[in-house]
């Protein structure tokens, strides 16, 4: 994961991002950061497994909607409604999560970027891992989204 952060260096070779001085895969929050870590973990990381699982099971309702529009019978409308309802619920869940991201990410980045990136990443291993887990979620979400559109 340290390599990932190093690869984010967009300023050329003059300002190379140094390696992180701990094992990010097994990082645990320090006593100093445990309260904010637990709060942000519950807010930002805990829901991600369920969100990704529901997104993997996403079934588009477009065929049933088209059928209900083309042949507006009660049966077709009911089928379309039954197909659309889970998607609407999923969208509501993702919207709610995005609101949590909007609140939590500035808090996380304020701690991680407060003084000097390297010092704060090393000083806050739990929050650094939390940020890495969040990036992992984002990459997986985008991968699933890309897969859905290629069906």
Q: Where are the domains of the chain?
A: 34-142
Cα–Cα distance, 73 to 75 (Å, whole number)? 5
Per-residue confidence (pLDDT) for residue 4, from 0 to 100: 47
Per-residue confidence (pLDDT) for residue 111, from 0 to 100: 86
Per-residue confidence (pLDDT) for residue 100, from 0 to 100: 95
Cβ-based neighbour number of residue 16 at 10 Å: 10
What digits encode the pLDDT tens for the residues 38-93? Answer: 999 999 999 999 999 999 988 888 899 999 999 889 998 999 999 999 999 999 99
Torsion angle defined by CA atoms of residues 10, 12, 18 and 20, in that order, rounded to the nearest 10 degrees: 30
Q: Is the pLDDT of residue 3 over 60?
A: no
What digits encode the pLDDT tens for the residues 20-34? Answer: 667 778 888 889 999
């Amino acid at each position: 994961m340290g390599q990932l952060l190093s690869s984010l260096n967009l300023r050329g070779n003059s300002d190379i991002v140094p390696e992180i001085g701990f094992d990010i895969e097994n990082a645990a929050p320090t006593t100093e950061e445990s309260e904010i870590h637990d709060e942000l973990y519950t807010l930002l990381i805990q829901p991600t497994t369920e969100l990704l699982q529901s997104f993997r099971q996403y079934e588009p309702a477009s065929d049933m909607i088209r059928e209900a529009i083309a042949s507006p019978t009660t049966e077709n409308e009911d089928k379309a409604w039954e197909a659309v309802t889970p998607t609407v619920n999923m969208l509501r869940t993702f919207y709610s999560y995005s609101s949590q991201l909007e609140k939590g990410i500035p808090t996380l980045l304020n701690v991680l970027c407060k003084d000097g990136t390297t010092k704060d990443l090393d000083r806050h291993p739990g929050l650094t891992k939390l940020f890495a887990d969040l990036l992992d979620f984002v990459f997986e979400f985008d991968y699933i989204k890309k897969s859905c559109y290629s069906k």
